[in-house]
A and B are shown apart, each in its own frame.
Chain A
């Protein structure tokens, strides 16, 4: 039983190369791959719904100002099959997110990579980046 669970989390790295992604939208019409962002902050909300799961993070800048960022993941259907659960990200979890910002300047971005700081675990995001050209 223990071995199976360990394999499951270790296997997420292996799954990265094989899991396909839903692209209900065109990534390039909405996000800019040349506008990367990397932030760390606490999760304030998780929306576990189709077509894309979203999670929101409070990011504090040097002056102490807090901005709430929204990050888009793939479909929960894809995330579930890649080893996520609805409860993988909890409110209060500190995460480090790498993402591509929205073209229109909104505080949203398409997540490329998410690290759960508490465990160091890298979470597959199911990003549509690199799909619909």
Chain B
């Protein structure tokens, strides 16, 4: 049965249109249905140490209602749909749950007035966490017992999450992806991150955060094809209450990361007004 499925998968790959090198290679670890397609509804796989295995290439779900009201959208034949929370992390929150401090509200309105031109991501800097998880390029999780790596296609950056019970860094040098430690809570990997530079925006609108942000992400893979990340933004300097929202990612089976370096041929900054 296994070899028939593998052969069927091989046939499908050879029939597919030509693609970038290595971009489509069947993953032998994925359970398949009778027609050779990945069985995305199957139960989440387990790693050798018995923990759920988060490994795979993932991409954030899209949101057909992703543009906030009042923002001009051009009638476009490209049919753009943004990833959910890419534009606005407070989408769907009650206003009182998304209340900003005066410092944050002031910074936010400056950023809005600038129409995004001062977003570091608009100047080829990495998005930072958690925004990078909803940028419209995929990421690959590589799980080992004491270290989880996340390789983000956006800016080809890597993130390390240490599961070896090390103490959090003291007085961290602020950086784009921060310093992450994690531990299992049943089937959920709870990741804590500090040391995030306040340069990065939490979303395209420009929701701010301070460098005292304590970010918690709870990763749970419910099936082969679904990964949920429950995000908590704990940053009293910027938000009156902790912000909570849940990212839903889908597996991108049988594909691999491409390279992305913004500095390769950046031509827009010179035209910003």
- Interface residues of A, Cβ cutoff 8 Å to B: 1, 4-5, 8, 16-30, 33, 47, 49-52, 54, 72, 75, 77-78, 80, 83, 85, 98, 100, 102-104, 106, 108, 112-113, 122, 124-133
Residues of B within 8 A of A113 (CB): 77-78
Are A26 and B115 in contact (CB-based, < 8 A)? yes
- Interface residues of B, Cβ cutoff 8 Å to A: 15-20, 23, 59, 62, 67-68, 71-74, 76-83, 86-87, 114-117, 119, 121-122, 124, 135-137, 153-154, 204-205, 258-262, 264-269, 271-273
Chain A residue at smallest Cβ distance from B77: A113
Are B264 and A49 in contact (CB-based, < 8 A)? yes
Chain A residue at smallest Cβ distance from B262: A51
| Contacts A21-B80, A112-B78; A103 near B273 (Cβ below 8 A) | yes
Are B74 and A130 in contact (CB-based, < 8 A)? yes
Give the distance to chain B from A102, nearest Cβ to Cβ, in Å: 6
Residues of B within 8 A of A8 (CB): 17
In the assembly, what is the distance between CA of A51 and CA of B266, in Å?
6
In the complex, number of A-B residue pairs with CB atoms less than 8 Å apart? 160
In the assembly, what is the distance between CA of A20 and CA of B205, in Å?
17
Are A104 and B271 in contact (CB-based, < 8 A)? yes
Are B78 and A127 in contact (CB-based, < 8 A)? yes
Residues of A within 8 A of B79 (CB): 16-19
In the assembly, what is the distance between CA of A35 and CA of B62, in Å?
28
In the assembly, what is the distance between CA of A126 and CA of B128, in Å?
23
Are B78 and A16 in contact (CB-based, < 8 A)? yes
Residues of B within 8 A of A26 (CB): 115-117, 119, 122, 204, 272
In the assembly, what is the distance between CA of A78 and CA of B81, in Å?
13
Are B76 and A23 in contact (CB-based, < 8 A)? no
Chain A residue at smallest Cβ distance from B17: A8
| Contacts A4-B15, A80-B19, A113-B77; A133 near B115 (Cβ below 8 A) | yes
Are B136 and A106 in contact (CB-based, < 8 A)? no
Chain A residue at smallest Cβ distance from B61: A20
Are B260 and A75 in contact (CB-based, < 8 A)? yes
Partner of A104, one of B18, B23, B273: B273
Residues of A within 8 A of B119 (CB): 26, 132
* 20 pairs from A and B in contact (CB 8 Å cutoff): A16-B77, A16-B78, A20-B136, A21-B78, A21-B82, A24-B122, A29-B117, A29-B122, A47-B265, A49-B264, A50-B264, A54-B267, A77-B137, A80-B258, A104-B273, A113-B77, A125-B78, A129-B78, A131-B82, A131-B204
Are B117 and A129 in contact (CB-based, < 8 A)? no
Q: A23-B86, A75-B260, A131-B82 are in contact. List 20 more A-B contacts (CB 8 A).
A: A5-B17, A18-B62, A20-B82, A21-B136, A22-B135, A25-B116, A25-B268, A26-B204, A28-B115, A29-B272, A30-B117, A51-B124, A51-B264, A77-B153, A80-B258, A113-B78, A124-B78, A129-B76, A132-B204, A133-B204
Are B114 and A78 in contact (CB-based, < 8 A)? no
Partner of B122, one of A5, A25, A112: A25
Residues of B within 8 A of A108 (CB): 271
Are A33 and B72 in contact (CB-based, < 8 A)? yes
Are A106 and B121 in contact (CB-based, < 8 A)? no
Residues of A within 8 A of B78 (CB): 16, 21, 112-113, 124-127, 129
